[in-house]
Amino acid sequence: MTTPKNAFKQIAITAARTGDAKKAHPVKVYDLGGRSPLADFAVLMAVESAPQLDAIEEAVVVNLKHEGIYCLHKDGMRSRNWKVLDYGGTLVHIYDTKAEEFYAISKVYADYKPVEWEEKPVQAAPAPAAKKPAVKKAPAKKPAAKKAAPKKTAKKAAPKKAAKKAAPKKAKPAKKAAKKK
């Protein structure tokens, strides 16, 4: 059975990964370590626009709801630059970069311990090296240099167009010409 603090950490990590998947940047998770009466963990996500802010908020709520975790309180629902989702021991802050600069959010959480939330790639054990016959590759051929075709000037091109337009009309059939004589 997980302790409440571990459960809140999992909520924070899930929210952070969801925000990261929706292109929030930077995404940071802090362990408030019992120093805050509000929560044990804080998730901070910066976004570029109001539509992105709404999309990330919805994605976090939906992903956590699928895990049976419901938001207890939402703040800033009409705000276009900052929203807070309260999951009991985890607060999720989603804000635009202007709000981050104005409120100096990074300074507010500077004294708290950051939490590693990003999935580290699993390194597969190296496979035993099987001896393969050495295959020599043919040396790469350099592509032949393309010769530049002489450029046509506008003056030369113009008479050809005129010649096409002034082409003589088809001669009348010989029978008619012979009758007139």
CB atoms closer than 10 angstroms to residue 75:
12
The CA distance from 67 to 12, in Å, is: 13
Task: Per-residue pLDDT tens, the chain, 181 aa: give them.
Answer: 456 778 899 999 999 999 999 999 999 999 998 788 888 999 999 999 999 999 999 999 999 999 999 999 999 988 889 999 999 999 999 999 888 888 888 888 888 989 988 776 555 555 555 555 555 666 666 666 666 665 555 555 555 554 455 555 655 555 555 455 4
- Strands 82-86 and 73-75 come out as antiparallel
Q: End-to-end distance of the chain based on CA atoms, in angstroms?
A: 118
Residues in the chain: 181
